[in-house]
Amino acid sequence: MERCAVAGIGTGVGKTLVSALLVERLGASYWKPIQAGGLVHTDTEEVRRLVTLSRARFLPEAYSLKAAMAPHAAAAQEGVTLRREELRLPEVEGPLVVEPAGGVLVPVADGLLNIDLLKYWNLPVVVVSSYYLGSINHTLLTVEALKSRDLALAGIVFNGERNDHSRGVILRETGLKCLLDLPNLRQPVSPGHVKAYAARIEL
């Protein structure tokens, strides 16, 4: 797996952190196609801060939107039309990690969901799960949606204090490989943390 997209089961599950881990592990370029909100410190800047590899590359966003909303809502507020053709994969050599804005069924524009972009890019998908009440349901729904589009699934990263029951159910029901068990890391996460845990990813 040299190229992949990172899909979270919900908000705040650690999608950007896992993207940084994959960039570190693969020596990849990183691309956040749409940044919605957080323009003072973007996800691209956060990944750049966390990654230690000098060969990693950080590509400019196709769209930067001010409001911390779903992309279609943020774009509507600013009078911007998000177009699929502007979100085609960048031409880069070597590994690439792509982090969409929001969950897989988040709308990007009328008739265009994140899952449609994932199909358009046709990259293996790394699913980021966590342990909270409802996370089993959210993970299984996310995986089912991805499988319904015949997308290749590279595996799951679990983020947070481990719950063996939830973990076991998710792995059994999805049939996916666990790429990494990532514990709650002390904030702010350091590049040293990223380097250490990136080495543990089972590709």
Give, as one character, the DSSP assignment of residue 177: P
Model pLDDT for residues 138-190, shown as the tens digit of each residue: 999 999 999 999 999 999 999 999 999 999 999 999 999 999 999 999 889 99
Quick check: helix, strand or coil at residue 67? coil
Residue 60: how many other CB atoms lie within 10 Å? 10
Catalytic residue among 15, 32, 147, 177: 32
Angle of CA points 140, 24, 179, to nearest 5°: 30
Q: Nearest-CA neighbor of 138 among 9, 5, 1?
A: 9
Domain boundaries, the chain: 29-97, 127-203
Q: How far is CA 103 from the centre of its chain?
A: 9
Query: For residue range 61-102, what is the model confidence (pLDDT) as tens digits?
Result: 999 999 999 999 999 999 999 999 999 999 999 999 999 999
**Comparing C-alpha atoms, which of 192, 176, 92, 193 is closest to residue 127?**
176
User: Is 32 a residue of the active site?
Assistant: yes
